[in-house]
Structure 1
Amino acid sequence: MARRIVAAAAIVTIVTLFFLDRNFRVLPSSIHEYLPQHHPGIVITDITITRCSGINPFSSCKLEGDSWHRIEKDLFLGKALTSTAYVHIQRKKEEELTPDDKVVMDITVGRLDPGSSVKGQEDERWEARPSGLWIKRSAKRHASDSKSAVTGVDVLFGDDAVEARDGWNIVGVPLLLDSGSIPAAHITIRRGTQQPAQRPQPRIHDTGKFKIMQLADLHLSTGVGACREAVPDSYNGGKCEADPRTLDFVSKMLDEERPDMVVLSGDQVNGETAPDAQSAIFKYASLLIKRKIPYACIFGNHDDEGSLPRAAQMSLIETLPYSLSRAGPEDLDGVGNYYVEVLGRGKTTHSALTVYLLDTHAYSPDEKKYHGYDWLKKNQIDWFKQTANSLKPKHKEYSHVHMDVAFIHIPLPEYRDPKQVFKGQWREAVTAPTYNSGFRDALVEQGVVMVSCGHDHANEYCAMSMNTEKQLPALWMCYAGGVGFGGYGGYGGFVRRLRVFDFDFNEARITTWKRVEYGDEVGKKVDEQIIVDAGKPVAPMEG
């Protein structure tokens, strides 16, 4: 399935002509329905909202004419029994503007006329539209080229909705829809020309240090969400909103640990409770963008169970500031098979660290033979080995010891081995694939020193996988532990947590620890241990 959308920098605006991938094939509507593009030379001349019956087959929310285009987001998120509603944008080519045409210069939402107390000219007056929407239009033909003209319109949902895109802002109050308990709909707009997102090149500090924070299983919703199995039961009088509590914990840890890079290792979005995945994505992205922290994402089995498939989510994430995420080669299974190079100190162009990220998919494609979860496919493993081999000559030019690590979502079958030496808690059954496609052996063959996953929320150990022939440590296999309150957290009072990897390139050493959200261990480095020294996996020290 095609996964890339042409002109990624323009993916976040509302006006669109065609949806094409990088091979100029038309993308399926399921991919692009929430991710329209703006084509230069096309301007917004009007905006309105239509509302229709959700049970009357003859009631339509569509407007006639080729100039009107609908944002394919039901403002009731498909949850209203009797109503649906949509935002529509009218657009026109600049060269086709007539003296009677107007260009939208401002948009807001509220009950009262925002210009009722201001005396002005006719083209400064606000025009009322349904559901509390107000627009201000200008008849000046040059207005479409102004930096203040509205060039993008979108809809986000939830009382906790935030914008993560440069140049975009939520305007006014939520749309006046009488939607009850359905997450509120917000209009968000962009002015002027979309600028390319900042995409910094990660580099180790002059001290030789670099820190990665792994966030596993955020399970964010559209809206605040409900906590599952939160500890303690008495938190906030028993009233626990999942996303605010999760994001508050993550925010505190970002400020305390100050990581140089964040890896989001899957299930960022809790598909079942995220009828608008875009709103959920923006919540975690905004935390990282605000702090100017580069981040890389892969997907879990729940991310695409909501409104957007993997390809559409990655197309959106790729355009966000500070995102290092990539869809990866189109001829590979999955979305998100790629690597990130972290450069050495100073101005060197040599890589000090390679971070591999691969898509472990979701559920088994052959339940009768291999029950449970999917596995890394042969073409992914071949790509990994070919890529690692191709990078080795350049990596050898680095003046210190180069290291390779990897992140996945679903654990490898080797995580199940109870004979391994491990540190941390093994609280639940390891839900690795039944079929072993051999990725652990490929990691060891290519000299990767550590792989870390998520998926099993209450498991948060690091296990040492041995080279049985040489009886030496071959690979550390870690769990991050679940961080999100929107996902399960049972198994003996499990406390939400995240994992930190601290790299010291002076010693070619990796130290890891966990940080917890609640209890006596708050503020401490939990289960701190050295897993790599002199560039090699090492056995844990006693005590």
Structure 2
Amino acid sequence: MTRRIVRTACQLAALTFCSIIVVYFLDNRFRVLPSAIHNVMPAHHPGLVITDITVTRCSSVNLISSCKLDPEIWHRVEKDLFLGSGWVSSAYVHVQRKKEEELLAEDKVIVDIKVGRLDPSSGQKGEENARWESRPGGLWLKRSAKRHASDDSRAITAVDVLFGADAVDPRPAWETVDRPLLLDVKGEIHEARISVRRGKPAAPAKGVPRIRDNGKFKIMQLADIHLSTGTGNCRDPEPADFDSGMCEADTRTLDFIARLMDEEKPDLVVLSGDQVNGETAPDAQSAIFKYAEMLVKRKIPYASIFGNHDDEGSLPRAQQMELIETLPYSISSAGPEDIDGVGNYVVEVLASGASKHSALTLYLLDTHAYSPDEHAYKGYDWLKKNQIDWFKQKADSLKKAHEGYTHIHMDLAFIHIPLPEYRDESLPRVGKWREGVTAPGFNSGFRDALVEKGVVMVSCGHDHANEYCSLSPNESGNPALWMCYGGGAGFGGYGGYGGYHRRVRFFEVDMNEARITTYKRIEHGTAAQLAERIDDQIIVEGGKAKGL
């Protein structure tokens, strides 16, 4: 209901006001974030070409200056190039864009963009090095030598702004200009980079998760990668003396994950929340694009849910998911609008070959963020009744279809915040319990619903240094549900707790035996030690939870 109210309000309100409303309604702590004005996604329309680009700069103490140009002629990319850090100054990229059929005889489309202090054509000859036009911020534009030329493969058809020295753009036909705009900013986090699309928008590739011909399937769970805008600073790195200089959190995190992807070759990646370190991500889009780029490059399908930190930056959950849904190989979904949260959905992993039957079902649910009733239940939020009802109804509705699978069908679940049952220290477990379990104070009964519907494993994140799997029994005392932690993988989030090394959990599924094996891979700071694999255990055998 909240998301519908917000969208209606956005249609009636001015742009800036709409941004504030979205954050107000969707932020669980009811805060209007300082960067609220940066969270409107750029609009890209098919059939448009760019005929001019400029940068405007304005000051709140200079009434003559303005960051607004004639909206009938210019479209503003709604991202302050100073990310709100300019105190009294702001700057924006504006573009002129026209429909191809509206181009006039004198119009020439932009076919190239560069950033620098010197004219790129200096000392060069020929049509390919035709005169470049200067714009503020060190921006240089090259127009087509031909009139219109909207069919030119080089024609720029959309413009966006990303931030950070490590900014990348995973969208089809998009590329990021290699130098940041020349602005008087401090720190690489504020390096504003132009990203452009050439040609008409292409539909993103969508991977279909499917059991391999040998009956195997591997899931990589990325928990708490905590990416920032820019490279970020490491928190509690291990080994502490690995990098004698500045430890760049995102660089080290992404290098670790990329090497594991190349070695393990997962069939599906589940991002189980806190992908974005909200407090250090004034542009969440730039952070999201960094993990997406790795997956798109390797053509790995991926499913995302949110943690409590994802929407503490520039974009609330709803807008993040709208963006993520459009990216190549993303199978993420906002889910039904009439239940609480954003990102309650099902992923069906199809049987091998050309079968249309589901072999594995993954239930992904939004565990929200902070308690809505701190007086009664301090700490974190809980899964709501309508979410649990949705899960039960979904499981019941899929049951008949799953009976068509020739082997044993299995159900798994992924969440971000652990369930209250994770606190039970008496349960048998494999792996380390290093910190207090920060589960919600109110138990809404999701663990019981999982057992009732035959889910054999649920895995979460949130508590970075906890990385165990514990076995929860049914009423008869028999193994019923494995409750796992992914283990924090990101250097932008806390580590600590006795020299915790970042790690990633894998689930190796063998449909021939209806068996699931899980293990972790650890980052020790050097490639030579990366191969360490620990805590191998079979958690499911014959389609049922297996005891220790």
Where does structure 2 lack aligned partners over 5 or more consecutive residues? Answer: 23-37
Q: Distance in 2 between matches of 1:462 and 1:372?
A: 23
CA contact (8 A) 2:278 2:311 kept: yes
Preserved contact between residue 100 and residue 139 of structure 1 (Cα < 8 Å): no
The whole-number CA distance in structure 2 between the counterparts of 1:96 and 1:166 is 26
Whole-Å Cα distance in 2 between the matches of residues 236 and 162 of structure 1? 24
For residue 547 of structure 2, the aligned residue among 532, 539, 542 is 539
Q: How does 1:388-427 map to 2 (within 5 A)?
A: 388-427=395-434
- 2:435 matched to which residue of 1? 428
- Is 80-89 or 274-283 further displaced after alignment? 80-89
Counterpart position of 1:15? none
Partner of 1:237: 244
The correspondence for 1:29, drawn from 1, 19, 22, is: 19
Q: Deviations over 1:312-332 (max 9, x none)?
A: 111111111111111111111
1:282 aligns with 2:289: yes
Match of 2:458 in 1: 451
Residue 356 of structure 1: CA displacement?
Answer: 0.8
Q: 1:123 to 1:491 in 2, by over 3 A?
A: closer
Q: CA contact under 8 A between 1:377 and 1:437: conserved in structure 2?
A: yes
Q: 1:460 to 1:54 in 2, by over 3 A?
A: farther
CA contact (8 A) 2:57 2:65 kept: no
Distance 1:234 1:321 in 2: 38
Q: Indicate the SS of the match to 1:143.
A: coil
Match for residue 14 of structure 1?
none
Give the distance between the partners of 1:120 and 1:253, measured in 2 at CA.
Answer: 47
CA distance in 2, matches of 1:145, 1:269: 38
Deviations 1:181-240 (CA, angstroms, capped at 9, x unpaired): 252111110011111111121111111100001000000001111111111221211521
Q: Against the structure 1 CA distance between its residues 283 and 349, is the aligned structure 2 distance closer, same or farther, given a 3 Å change threshold?
A: same
CA contact (8 A) 2:54 2:135 kept: yes
In angstroms, what is the RMSD of aligned CA positions?
Answer: 2.3
Whichever residue aligns with residue 473 of structure 2, its letter is: M
Is residue 292 of structure 2 the alignment partner of residue 302 of structure 1? no
Report the counterpart of residue 265 of structure 1 in structure 2.
272
The one-letter code sitting in structure 1 at the alignment partner of 2:323 is: L
* SS in structure 2 at match of 1:196: coil
Other-structure match for 1:117: 123
Q: Distance in 1 between matches of 2:277 and 2:436?
A: 21
CA distance in 2, matches of 1:364, 1:379: 17
Unpaired runs of at least 5, structure 1: 5-18
Distance in 1 between residues matched to 2:397 and 2:458, nearest whole Å: 20
8 Å Cα contact 2:109/2:148 also seen in 1: no
For 1:215 and 1:25, locate their aligned partners in 2 and report how far apart those are by CA, in whole Å. Answer: 39
Match of 2:53 among 39, 47, 50: 47
Give secondary structure in 2 for the equivalent of 1:45.
Answer: strand
Alignment match, 2:343: 336
Alpha-carbon offset, residue 462 of structure 1: 0.2
Larger deviation: 343-352 or 108-117? Answer: 108-117
**For the Cα contact (< 8 Å) 2:165–2:188, is it kept in 1?**
no
1:248 aligns with one of 232, 242, 255: 255
Q: Output the CA distance in 2 between the equivalents of 1:513 and 1:400.
A: 24
**Closer, same or farther: CA 269–139 of 1 in aligned 2, 3 Å:** same
Q: Does the residue aligned with 2:51 lie in a helix, a strand or coil?
A: strand
Which whole-Å deviations, capped at 9, do the CAs of 1:372-398 have from their partners, x for residues lacking one?
A: 101111111111111111111010110
Distance 1:54 1:497, change over 3 A: farther
1:80 corresponds to which of 74, 86, 89: 86
Whether contact under 8 Å (2:482, 2:539) holds in the other structure is yes
* Matching of residue 530 in structure 1 with residue 538 in structure 2: yes
Which of these residues, 499, 502, 506, is aligned with residue 500 of structure 1? 506
Q: Partner of 2:33 in structure 1?
A: none
Note if contact 2:366-2:383 (Cα within 8 Å) is conserved in structure 1.
yes
How many corresponding residue pairs?
524
Q: CA separation of 1:479/1:318 partners in 2, compared to 1, >3 Å: closer, same or farther?
A: same
Task: Report matched runs for 1:100-139 at 5 Å.
Answer: 100-120=106-126, 124-138=130-144
TM alignment of 1:163-182, pairs within 5 A: 163-182=169-188
Deviations 1:288-345 (A, max 9, x none): 1111111110000000100111111111111111111111111111111111111111
Contact 2:506 2:520 in 1 (8 A): yes
Per-residue CA deviations over 1:449-476 (Å, capped at 9, x if unaligned) read 0000000001000010111x31101100
Q: Aligned partners of 1:288 and 1:509: how far apart in 2?
A: 26
Letter in 1 for 2:182: L
Give the direction of change, closer, same or farther, for the CA distance of 1:118–1:493 in structure 2 (3 Å limit): same
Per-residue CA deviations over 1:216-267 (Å, capped at 9, x if unaligned) read 0000001111111111221211521111111111111111111111000000
Q: What TM-score comes out, normalization by structure 2 length?
A: 0.91
Aligned-residue offset at 1:126: 1.4
Query: Which position in structure 2 is the counterpart of 1:477?
Result: 483
Cα offsets for 1:81-138 (capped at 9, x unmatched):
3422110011233343322333222222122222233435699421110111011223
Over 3 Å counting, the alpha-carbon distance change for 1:485 and 1:367 in structure 2 is same
CA distance in 2, matches of 1:55, 1:415: 54
Secondary structure of the 2:149 match is: helix
TM-score by length of 1: 0.92
- Following superposition, the deviation at residue 57 of structure 1 comes to 5.7
For 1:383, what is the secondary structure of its paired residue? helix
Deviates more, 1:276-285 or 1:40-49: 40-49
Q: Structure 1 residues 266, 415: closer, same or farther in 2, change over 3 A?
A: same
